[in-house]
Amino acid sequence: MSGADGAVPATSGPLLATRGLTRHFRIGGLRGHTLHAVDGLDLTIAEREIVALVGESGSGKSTVARLLAMVYRPTSGEIVFRGQSVSSFKRRRDLLGYRSQVPMVFQDPFSSLNPAHTIGYHMERGLKLHRPELDREGRRSEAERVLQLAGLVPPSAVLAKYPFELSGGQRQRVGFAQALSFKPKLVLADEPVSMLDVSIRIGLLNVMTSLRDDQHVSLLYITHDIASARYVSDRVLVMYAGHLVEHGPTDEVLHQPLHPYTRLLLSAVPDPRAELKVTSSDLGEPPRVVGPGEGCRFRWRCPLAQDVCGRVTPRLQEATPGHAAACHVTVPGPAAGAAPAAQGARLPGDA
């Protein structure tokens, strides 16, 4: 194999791409239903790129990360890493190589560390597996280096602790530090800063940008903190109910959101200095991902919904180069009689 080996130069394509990535779950026992956690997802992550993945709670973000980390198998679709389909990684060595290069930071730091072992044990074990070139001494200093980077100080004291001796935010940073110790190419970071105060959060965000800038590491940064996504990411992906509904350069998505869900999301971003804007407690219908059928999954909550939205699932259409959304109304496709996508469709309501 060639792709999953750090020594081989990258191909010109994206670092990672998915085609039609889909994952369904059976829930509710025998008489159960099919839950569409992720449906037909096409995404790309370039070398040296931070891609933020945002979206509604339960929309499938963690499932995407777990699919990319090969924790879950896709129901269908493909993941291509440096030009190679990850489903071709069968031998232990190839899988290990992939996992070293594409580590995942799990969302729940309380269940991802074994309570029976110290942080030192966890770090040591990971390093033994993923950095065989390091000797005992080297592993120790690498462990201390990454803990320090994550603001866990003094690192020597942290190494001696058991997971239950750490606070929520401290555990969260252990997971992040561990991923860094593997010398990754792409870190799948699932809400890595959700339990951190602003100051430590900023420290970690700065670690992320310098990883990208200095070591050419890419990140998939899953977050609910839109301000931090804006601060670190090059591109933003927005998910709703298992679908990718919008993606594009960060500033474009945040300043000219195309999809009605993205607009709703951004309109709810709070400003602590200003008065509370949202005063409605109406959550709307929970998104239907159990046996969803055809049509746009946002239509029950969408202020712009039309007949077609209930019949045809909208596909991603580019409005401007690199900025696409899946909405019949704001980005009408060629089928709906609009101008070809690449020419930049005008939005209704845009002055």
Partner 1 sequence: MSPQAPLPPPSAAEAPDVAAPRTASGPVLSVQDLSVSYWGGAGPARAVDQVNLELAPGEFVAVVGESGCGKSTLLFSIAKLLTPPAEVTGGQVVFGGQNMVAMTDKQLRAVRWRGMSVVMQSAMNALNPVASVRAQFADAMKAHGERRKDVVLARSEEVLRMVGIDPVHLSSYPHQLSGGMRQRVMIAMALLFSPELILMDEPTSALDVVAQRSLMVQVKQLQAQLGFAIIFVTHDMSLVSHFSDRVVVMYAGQVVEQSPTRPLFDGPMHPYAQGLLEAFPSVYGPRVPLLGIPGNPPDLAQLPQGCNFNPRCPRATDRCRAESPRLVELGDRRVRCLLYEPGGTDGAKP
Choose one: 78-86, 129-137, 154-162, 342-350; the region binding partner 1 (CB under 8 A): 154-162
Show the beta-strand stretches assigned E in 82-153.
Answer: 84-85, 104-105
Report the nearest approach of partner 1 to the CB of residue 3 (Å).
Answer: 31
Q: Smallest distance, Å, CB 84 to partner 1?
A: 30
Q: Which of 39, 47, 56, 252 binds partner 1 (CB under 8 A)?
A: 56
Q: How far is the CB of 144 from ligand ATP (least distance, A)?
A: 17
233 binds partner 1 (CB under 8 A): no
Nearer to ligand ATP, 96 or 162 (CB): 162
What is the footprint of partner 1 within residues 246-265 (CB under 8 A)?
254, 264-265
Pairwise CA distance, residues 176 & 187, whole Å: 9
Distance, CA of 130 to CA of 119 (rounded, Å):
17
Q: What is the total residue count of the chain?
A: 351
* Binding of residue 155 to partner 1 (CB under 8 A): no
CA-to-CA distance for 121 and 126, rounded, in angstroms? 9
Q: Can residue 165 be called a binding residue for ligand ATP (CB under 6 A)? A: yes
Q: Which is nearer to ligand ATP, 167 or 280 (CB)?
A: 167
Going residue by residue from 31 to 50, which x/- string records binding to ligand ATP, judged by CB under 6 A?
A: ----x-x-------------
Give the start-end residues of each E strand in 56-134: 76-81, 84-85, 104-105
Buried b or exposed e, range 184-218, using 16+ CB within 10 angstroms: bbbbbbbbbbbbbeeebbeebbebbeebbeeeebb
Tell me which of 7, 9, 12, 167 binds partner 1, using CB under 8 A: 167
Binding mask 109-128 for partner 1 (x = CB under 8 A): -xx-----------------
Which residue minimizes CB distance to Mg ion? Answer: 62
What per-residue string of b and e applies to 239-258 under the rule 16 or more CB within 10 Å gives b? bbbbbbbbbbbbebbbeebb
Q: Looking only at Cα atoms, what is the longest distance across the chain? A: 66
Q: Determine which residue in the list 10, 46, 95, 195 makes contact with ligand ATP, applying CB under 6 A.
A: 195
Q: Determine if 153 is a binding residue for partner 1 (CB under 8 A).
A: yes
Among 18, 194, 233, 330, binds partner 1 (CB under 8 A): 194
Q: Which does residue 163 touch among ligand ATP, partner 1, Mg ion, none (CB within 5 to 8 A, set by kind)?
A: none
* Under 8 Å between Cβ of 245 and 239: yes
- Other beta carbons within 10 angstroms of residue 234's beta carbon come to 17
Phi, psi of 349 (to 5 degrees): 90, -10
**CA gyration radius, the chain:** 21
Residues with Cβ within 8 Å of residue 198, at least 6 apart in sequence = none
- Segment 275 to 314, residues that bind ligand ATP, using CB under 6 A: 289
Verify binding: residue 205, partner 1, rule CB under 8 A: yes
Instruction: With CA atoms as reference, report the closest residue to 24 among 46, 1, 41, 4.
Output: 41
What does the binding site for Mg ion look like in residue numbers (CB under 5 A)?
62, 107, 167-168
Q: How far is the CB of 41 from partner 1 (least distance, A)?
A: 16
- By CB under 6 A, residue 153 contacts ligand ATP: no
Q: Report the interface residues with ligand ATP, using CB under 6 A.
A: 25, 27, 35, 37, 57-63, 107, 164-170, 195, 289
